Amino acid sequence: MEPKKKIALVSGGNRGIGAAVAARLAESGVLVLIGSRDLAAGQAVAAPLVAEGGEAVAVQLDVTDDASVAALAGRIAETWGRLDILVNNAGIGLDHDTRLTPVVRIARTLEVNVTGTLRLTEAMVPLLARGVSPRIVNISSELGSFALRQDPDWEHADKIMPTYAASKAAVNALTVGYAQSLAGQGIKVNAICPGYTATAATNFGPDRTPGEAASAIAALALADADGPTGGFFNEAGALPW
């Protein structure tokens, strides 16, 4: 019997690292649901993937919106009946937005990066529980690591972004918590830092491309039964918390 085609949902799949992860998964034979606040932007990412022979469907998704998340969960249940991979990629960083007060910066950042990750995860767990080798991959950041922040020789020591760092530390805490609470349902949950990558979030400054960042993320999403759970990684291996 043919193995079932895996079904993945990528939040923030319409650009940057999320779009590259969607492409990498589609190339690997996964049916990818490209979560996008603006459906047309998701469709623009899906179209070339489909033209190249992949399976990709743009779906409306705002991780801060209960109705959007519930509608998507309902649609996935009705259309596919299960989900195998959830990539919690949608994320923002507002530390450098001087128009906002620090209180507004952290409130908005936590709403997307932390509460949004939790909202989407909670809605998708019943579908993942029916999935094949179900995996949740949370896109975190080295900036959320307490250990690296305390290392003066760390290559990103100059990047002081306390509200973003707090949100990613919380994403790491959610990762550990869900890895434990979902283990009984066979769902593996890991966090990964994509590396400092050229996207709108970094003003396209670094040399690293989203495609380079996507490889390790896709590999973690497709990890087999021997794969880790409850870990924090970058492409080189385990990261300190």
Ligand X SMILES: NC(=O)c1ccc[n+]([C@@H]2O[C@H](COP(=O)([O-])OP(=O)(O)OC[C@H]3O[C@@H](n4cnc5c(N)ncnc54)[C@H](OP(=O)(O)O)[C@@H]3O)[C@@H](O)[C@H]2O)c1
Structure tokens at 221: 């999403």
Q: What is the DSSP letter of 228?
A: -
Catalytic residues: 141, 168
Is 172 a binding residue for ligand X by CB under 6 A? The answer is no
Q: Return the residue of 139, 148, 182, 239 that touches ligand X, per CB under 6 A.
A: 139
Residue 24 backbone dihedrals phi, psi, to 5 degrees: -65, -40
Q: Report the site for ligand X in 183-202 (rule: CB under 6 A).
A: 193-194, 196-197, 199-202
The answer to whether the CB of 136 falls within 8 A of the CB of 88 is yes
Residue 72 CB contacts under 8 Å (≥ 6 apart), including other chains: 9, 35, 59, 60, 61, 123
The answer to whether the CB of 107 falls within 8 A of the CB of 97 is no
Site string for ligand X, 54-93 (x = CB under 6 A): -------xxxx------------------------xxxx-
Residue 125 CB contacts under 8 Å (≥ 6 apart), including other chains: 182, 185, 187
Is 118 a binding residue for ligand X by CB under 6 A? The answer is no
Q: Which stretch binds ligand X (CB under 6 A): 10-18, 123-131, 155-163, 218-226?
A: 10-18
3-state helix, strand, coil in the chain (%, to 5): 45, 15, 40
C-beta of 9 vs 182, nearer to ligand X: 9
Name the minimum Å distance from CB 209 to ligand X: 11
Q: Which residues bind ligand X (CB under 6 A)?
A: 11-12, 14-18, 37-38, 41, 61-64, 89-92, 112, 116, 139, 141, 193-194, 196-197, 199-202
